[in-house]
Structure 1
Amino acid sequence: MSRRSALARRTGIATALVLVTLAVGAGVVAASNVAVGLSEQSGDTSVPTWLYLATGAGVIGASALLTMLMTDRGVIGSFHDDAVGFSVERLREAGSLLLGTLGIAGLLFVIVVGLVGPQIGNFSAAVLLTFVGGRALLTIVAYTVGNPWPALNPWRRIASALPNGYATYPPWLGSWPAVGSLLVLIWAELVAPLSSSPRALVAAILAYSAFTMAGAIAFTPETWFRKGDPISVWFRLYGSVAPIQRTDDGLEVCYPGSRLSDDDVITDVSGVAFILVLVWELTYSGFIVTSPGVRTVDALVGIGIPPLLIYLGLLLAGFALFWKVYWFAAARTRRRAETYLSYRYLAIRFAPPLLAIAAGYHFAHYAGFSISLWPSLLDTMAAPLNPPENPTQYALTSWFGYVEITGILLGHMLAVWITHSVSFELFPGKLQALRSQYPFIIIMILFTVVSLYLVSLPSMAAVYVPD
Structure 2
Amino acid sequence: MAFRRLAAVLAVALLPGRGLAHASEQGFVLLLPTEIYTAAGAASVALTVFLLIFLPDRLSLGLFGALRLVRLRRGGLRVLTSCLSFLLLVWLIHIGLTGPRDPLANPMTLFIWTVWWVGFAVLQGLLGNLWHWVNPWVGPAALIRALLGVRPLLPLPHRLAPWLAVAGFLAFAGFLIADIAPADPARLARVVGLYWLAMFAAVLIFGPRWLLRAEAVSLFMRCYARVGLFGRLKRGLAAGLPGWGLFAMPVPSLGLAVFMLVLLGCGSFDGLNETFWWLALLGINPLEFPGRSAVIWQNLAGLLAANAALVAVYALAIWLGLAISRAGMTLHRAFRVFAPSILPIALGYHLAHYFTSFLVDGQYALNALNDPYATGADLLGLGQVYVTTGFFNTRDSVRAIFLTQAGAVVIGHVLAIILAHALAVRAFGSSRRALISQAPLAVFMVLYTFFGLWLLAAPRGA
Q: TM-score range by the shorter chain?
A: 0.7 to 0.9
The Cα of 1:409 is off from its aligned counterpart by 0.4
1:153 aligns with 2:135: yes
Q: What residue number does 1:412 align with? A: 413
CA deviations over 1:195-243 (Å, ceiling 9, x no partner)? 432110111112212321222112101x101111000000000000000
Letter in 2 for 1:69: F
Distance 1:445 1:330, change over 3 A: same
- In structure 2, runs of 5+ residues without a counterpart are 1-6, 145-149, 378-383, 392-396
1:111 aligns with 2:93: yes
Q: What residue number does 1:281 align with? A: 266
Contact 2:70–2:236 (CA under 8 A) maintained in structure 1 = yes
Tell me the distance in 2 between the aligned counterparts of 1:258 and 1:208: 32
Distance 1:386 1:446, change over 3 A: same
Contact 1:244–1:253 (CA under 8 A) maintained in structure 2 = yes
Contact 1:36–1:401 (CA under 8 A) maintained in structure 2 = no
Tell me the distance in 1 between the aligned counterparts of 2:9 and 2:281: 34
Tell me the distance in 1 between the aligned counterparts of 2:112 and 2:30: 32
Residue identity (%): 22
Structure 2 residue aligned with 1:241, among 224, 227, 230? 227
User: Counterpart of 2:104 in 1: which secondary structure?
Assistant: helix
Aligned residues: 428
Structure 2 residue aligned with 1:309, among 283, 297, 301? 297
Contact 1:215–1:228 (CA under 8 A) maintained in structure 2 = no
Give TM-score, length-normalised by structure 1: 0.85
Tell me the distance in 1 between the aligned counterparts of 2:236 and 2:387: 39
Distance 1:215 1:98, change over 3 A: closer
Q: What residue number does 1:224 align with? A: 210
User: Counterpart of 2:283 in 1: which secondary structure?
Assistant: helix
Greater shift in the superposed pair: 432-441 or 366-375 = 366-375
Q: What residue number does 1:54 align with? A: 39
Contact 1:40–1:459 (CA under 8 A) maintained in structure 2 = yes
Tell me the distance in 1 between the aligned counterparts of 2:427 and 2:200: 39
CA deviations over 1:322-342 (Å, ceiling 9, x no partner)? 111111112112212212221
Contact 1:132–1:374 (CA under 8 A) maintained in structure 2 = yes
Contact 2:12–2:407 (CA under 8 A) maintained in structure 1 = no
Give TM-score, length-normalised by structure 2: 0.85
Contact 2:243–2:419 (CA under 8 A) maintained in structure 1 = yes
Tell me the distance in 2 between the aligned counterparts of 1:458 and 1:306: 20
Q: What residue number does 1:456 align with? A: 457
User: Counterpart of 1:85 in 2: which secondary structure?
Assistant: strand
Contact 1:373–1:394 (CA under 8 A) maintained in structure 2 = no
Q: What residue number does 1:177 align with? A: 164
After superposition, residues 192-271 of structure 1 pair within 5 angstroms as: 192-221=179-208, 223-264=209-250, 267-271=252-256
1:96 aligns with 2:96: no
Letter in 1 for 2:239: V
Q: What residue number does 1:355 align with? A: 343
The Cα of 1:373 is off from its aligned counterpart by 2.1
User: Counterpart of 2:137 in 1: which secondary structure?
Assistant: helix
Contact 2:125–2:228 (CA under 8 A) maintained in structure 1 = yes
Tell me the distance in 1 between the aligned counterparts of 2:77 and 2:432: 48
Whose RCO is larger (CA < 8 A, sep 6+)? 2
User: Counterpart of 1:246 in 2: which secondary structure?
Assistant: strand
Letter in 1 for 2:158: P
Tell me the distance in 2 between the aligned counterparts of 1:80 and 1:422: 10
Tell me the distance in 2 between the aligned counterparts of 1:455 and 1:46: 13
Q: What residue number does 1:436 align with? A: 437
The Cα of 1:289 is off from its aligned counterpart by 1.4
- In structure 1, runs of 5+ residues without a counterpart are 1-19, 29-33, 462-467
After superposition, residues 388-407 of structure 1 pair within 5 angstroms as: 392-395=386-389, 396=391, 397-398=397-398, 399-407=400-408
Q: What residue number does 1:373 align with? A: 361
Distance 1:43 1:366, change over 3 A: closer
Q: What residue number does 2:374 align with? A: 386
User: Counterpart of 1:165 in 2: which secondary structure?
Assistant: coil
After superposition, residues 291-302 of structure 1 pair within 5 angstroms as: 291-298=276-283
